[in-house]
Amino acid sequence: MSRFRALWQASLNATKKALTWSAEDLIPPSERYIFSFNSKEELKKWHLYSDSEYGGLSSASLEIRDAGNGSKGIFSGKLSLDVAEDSKWNITRSGFCGMRSKKFDGFIDLDAYDTIALKVKGDGRCYISTEHTLVQIYTENWVNSPGQQEDNSWQAFVFMPKDNWYITKIPLTRYLPTWRGNVIDADLEMNPSRIVGMSLSVNAEGGVPGARSGPGDFQMEIDWIKALRTQ
């Protein structure tokens, strides 16, 4: 009988808790921080990459600086189109750098959201064709094949003004499936409930009139990255 009473009480408590749920418990908040660049601990969540992995001479750094109005992330470096003479890779030009988040602990579920937002400040350089920053999202593979270890990559391009803080919003519907930098011509849909990572990158080539392009220094300041529910 005591076991029955315990089960009954547990059921009753669960029912009472369900009845007292508020709308906030049932509806996710309108925004969710994914990354906030406000401490050096944040740097442990990211790693850098560049064409130097393939014989190029570009370089990048990521640090946290206190600008007097709070800490911000600084993604900066130098883009070079040159290739090391002793490179074992068969490439003739280089000129890219990026920062990619380390894989989340499992994955994050953004199914309740429809937009990725970033608060950033550019430097007048054109980031990946037409003065854009390349923002990538990585999801688990569509097919869990033993021979397919790379995550799916989804890319979108966003405008970044010079010298002013700007909040750019990218609907998830604008992300295109890619394979090693090339857009996949296939009818595929992102699964926002299985996000495993994100990245930002910059390329020396491409641009619009008046924008900086070509080899040289670059710098992007980052305050935060959020997921938004706009509908």
20 domain-assigned: no
Of 36 and 18, which is predicted with more confidence? 36
89 domain-assigned: yes
pTM strictly above 0.85: no
Amino acid at 8: W
For residue 5, what is the DSSP state? H
Which tokens hold the place of 190? 């992102």
Residue 210's domain is classified under what CATH number? 2.60.120.430
Which tokens hold the place of 156? 């979108």
Contact 112, 229 (CB under 8 A): yes
Q: How far is CA 196 from the centre of its chain?
A: 10
Model confidence at 53: pLDDT above 60: yes
- 12-21, 38-47, 124-133, 138-147, range with greatest mean pLDDT: 38-47
pLDDT digits (tens, 9 = 90+) for 103-125: 777 778 899 999 999 999 988 76
State the residue range of the domain holding 130: 29-228
Q: What is the pLDDT of residue 159?
A: 66
14 domain-assigned: no
13 domain-assigned: no
Contact 71, 81 (CB under 8 A): no
17 domain-assigned: no
For the chain, the C-alpha Rg in angstroms (whole number) is 22
Q: What is the pLDDT of residue 163?
A: 82
Which residue is it, tokens 């007292």?
Answer: 20
Which residue is it, tokens 């011509």?
Answer: 185
193 domain-assigned: yes
219 domain-assigned: yes
Number of domains comprising the chain: 1
10 domain-assigned: no
Q: Which is it for strands 176-179 and 182-183: parallel, antiparallel or unpaired?
A: antiparallel
Long-range contacts of 64-67 (CB under 8 A, 24+ apart): 64/37, 64/38, 64/39, 64/40, 67/221
